[in-house]
Amino acid sequence: MNVMTEIPIREHANAAGLNLGTPVISILIPFFKDDPRPLLAALAPLTRQQDDFEIILFDDGQPDTALNQAVCDHINTYNLPIRLLTSVRNRGRAAGRNLLAAAARGAWLLYLDADMSPADDRFLDRYRAVITEASADAYFGGYETCAPETPALRLHAALSRSSDQHAAADRNKIGATAFCSSNLLVRSEVMQACPYDEGFSGWGWEDVDWAVTAAHDFRLSHIHNPARHGGLQTADALLAKFRAGAVNFKRLLQRHPELAGLPGARAARMLGRLPGQHWLRGVWSFLCRCDGMPMRVRTLALKLWRASWTSEALR
């Protein structure tokens, strides 16, 4: 069930955004504290025929008013149609993406996270090509993980490369559960029929839920058109997110019991049968934070930490 709340929205559009007709692709960029201006600068030269595109940004809760004003000023410098929607309170990941879909005027919607960047100059052209072919209703282009800028971010980079950065052929074998909510190209009517479930709160799993639900009635496909994903976080941040995300994973399994065979679900059930396993969380937390440990040990410890909290949520 989607929870609709009356939260005021403020809109700012540049001159081109006020007079736009019907674009082919609406590029939708939600953000929360991240600065979307580098992504705008990277996308603008790739649009070529600017009337074929619009960009809609969504500032979810305006946690940084100075950033919001800077983004307003920045979009005025473009001839490309751009709008900025600002919510006075935080709506969350699922609700924000639904709001962007409702505001879009394009026949196709391309979701990108604000901390992403196109992997190369053919990024938008490849999506135009698959739209022409129209062999599916939604496409996930995949990720390339950015190099960590500091040693504190190496764990997240290693985890992303091992868990999220897969070739299109491998992702197609996995199917809908390999879809993510960023670098996602989808027909607008699919989002109207199958919005994100706003019952998911905080971080995690609303994208898998959407894809598994949409796959019942629509064609989903994986292609090779990666976007580089920045936004790497520290071990402490990952530990907090994975602990909080256990509730969302429980919701995912409740809505889709057929996903009980996912590796994370199997690991959680296995740990749940181990007496006193929660006492091991301090060990796993320590190993995650320990820069001197082999990266395989650190990533395994992080997965065990996540499975431990998931096992508790599934009781």
Average per-residue pLDDT for the chain: 92
Q: What residue ranges define each of the domains in the chain, with the CATH number in brackets?
A: 9-233 (3.90.550.10), 240-313 (no CATH)
What is the torsion angle, in degrees rounded to the nearest 10, for the CA atoms of residue 136, residue 119, residue 18 and residue 139? 10
Of 256, 147, 170, whose CA–CA distance to 205 is shortest?
A: 256
Does pLDDT of 12 surpass 70?
A: yes
Q: Please, which residues have CB within 8 angstroms of residue 10's CB and are 6 or more apart in sequence?
A: 85, 86, 88
pLDDT digits (tens, 9 = 90+) for 198-239: 999 888 899 999 999 999 999 999 999 999 988 899 999 999
Share of the chain above pLDDT 90, in %: 79
Cα dihedral 278, 279, 285, 286 in deg (nearest 10)? -170
Q: Side chain identity at 200, as an amino acid letter?
A: F
Averaged pLDDT for residues 294-315: 94
pLDDT of 149: 87
The band of 8, judged by pLDDT with boundaries at 50, 70 and 90, is confident
Cα angle 249-253-259, degrees, rounded to a multiple of 5: 110
Instruction: Please determine, for residue 5, whether its predicted confidence score (pLDDT) is greater than 60.
Output: no
Other C-beta atoms within 10 Å of 136: how many? 17
